[in-house]
Copies of this chain bind each other. A is one copy, B any other.
Amino acid sequence: MKIINTPREMRALSQEWRCAGESIGFVPTMGALHEGHLSLAQAARRECNKFVASIFVNPTQFGPDEDFAEYARPFERDCALLEEVGCDAVFAPAPQDIYGAGGSTASLGARAFVEVGGLSELWEGATRPGHLRGVATVVAILFNVVRPTRAYFGEKDFQQLKVVEQMVHDLHFDLQIVPCETVRDADGLAMSSRNARLSPAERQAALLLSRALRAGVEMAHSGECDTTKLGAAMQAVCSEHPAVEVQYIAVVDAQTLATLPALDGRPARTLIAARVGSVRLIDNVPLN
């Protein structure tokens, strides 16, 4: 497995592969890999001739008060896990390789950025200003450097997935986005690098997020179409523990992410975001 640090070297390898007719699977990550990432890696390994993962903690998708500095960076462990899956190359640039001098404090104020109008303003966009712009921009950069045939994204970050899908469509990137199902612990908690920062008590409280989502799914399956009632029931589940502070619970159109007043047969999704102690978690499930 190659470890590649510079865009120039990554680009050359990718160009060589493409011209040899190889398909290139790509899993962009911020490292701190868990079973969720590894399921993406396995899909890329299975479906493509070559498989590249990137490990890059992207400063521009963190807000000024967010956890960029303390985000876990267990690089050697991550590489060992990727090697086990059969990864061909890890692209691990430094912030300055992506954003130039001062890269780790990069903001997008005076730079080129990519934004997805409409989608970027909802939910995570409203709660974390600039976050989705940072995501779209770094994904565009990574696509331009890695030039994959297929790129794998987890449904756990559902709005991110939709933003990237729309960006690829609208800007005519020459690749296919492959969505992959959220991987959960046995108790239902969606895998996230941030779970490691939950205390044992917080981890118990965090289970309420997936429990609330399941409660919503069950009500919908029993015929409840009124999304206000669904939302209230899910909020009630979350209220069982004072450490869970809900930021939003929303039943949305699975394509546009616009709030649905009622379930009407269109693909729908419930999105939830909450703080549990000092850790912010998100999760989502399909409703039909």
* A residues lining the B interface (CB < 8 Å): 7, 11, 15, 18-19, 98-99, 108-119, 136-137, 140-141, 144-145, 147, 166-167, 169-174
The list of the 5 closest CB pairs from A to B, nearest first, reads A110-B118, A112-B170, A19-B19, A112-B167, A144-B172
CB distance from A129 to the nearest CB of B (A): 14
Option from B11, B98, B112 in Cβ contact (under 8 Å) with A115: B112
CB distance from A15 to the nearest CB of B (A): 8
CA distance A114 to B113 in the complex (A): 6
Return chain B residues, CB-CB under 8 Å to A137. 171
User: Judging by beta carbons under 8 Å apart, are A144 and B111 in contact?
Assistant: no
User: Judging by beta carbons under 8 Å apart, are A114 and B145 in contact?
Assistant: no
CA distance A242 to B11 in the complex (A): 55
User: Judging by beta carbons under 8 Å apart, are A112 and B114 in contact?
Assistant: yes
Return chain B residues, CB-CB under 8 Å to A109. 117-118
Option from B98, B114, B147 in Cβ contact (under 8 Å) with A114: B114
User: Judging by beta carbons under 8 Å apart, are A112 and B7 in contact?
Assistant: no
- The interface centre, meaning the residue of A11, A108, A113, A145 with most chain B CB atoms within 10 A of its CB, is A113
CA distance A168 to B172 in the complex (A): 16
CB distance from A275 to the nearest CB of B (A): 30
User: Judging by beta carbons under 8 Å apart, are B111 and A166 in contact?
Assistant: yes
User: Judging by beta carbons under 8 Å apart, are B174 and A111 in contact?
Assistant: no
Option from B98, B112, B174 in Cβ contact (under 8 Å) with A116: B112
Contacts A18-B19, A19-B19 given; does A172 touch B141 at CB 8 Å: yes
A and B contact pairs by CB, cutoff 8 A, 11 listed: A109-B118, A111-B166, A112-B115, A112-B166, A112-B167, A112-B169, A112-B171, A113-B115, A137-B171, A141-B170, A147-B174
Contacts A11-B174, A18-B19 given; does A113 touch B117 at CB 8 Å: yes
Return chain B residues, CB-CB under 8 Å to A113. 114-117, 170
Return chain B residues, CB-CB under 8 Å to A118. 109-111
Option from B18, B110, B117 in Cβ contact (under 8 Å) with A117: B110
Known: A111-B117, A114-B114, A114-B171. 20 other contacts (CB 8 A): A11-B174, A108-B117, A109-B117, A111-B118, A111-B166, A112-B114, A112-B116, A112-B136, A112-B166, A112-B170, A112-B171, A113-B114, A113-B115, A113-B117, A113-B170, A137-B171, A141-B170, A144-B171, A144-B173, A145-B172
Which chain B residue shows the least CB distance to A19? B19
CB distance from A130 to the nearest CB of B (A): 11
Return chain B residues, CB-CB under 8 Å to A173. 144
CB distance from A147 to the nearest CB of B (A): 8
CB distance from A228 to the nearest CB of B (A): 26
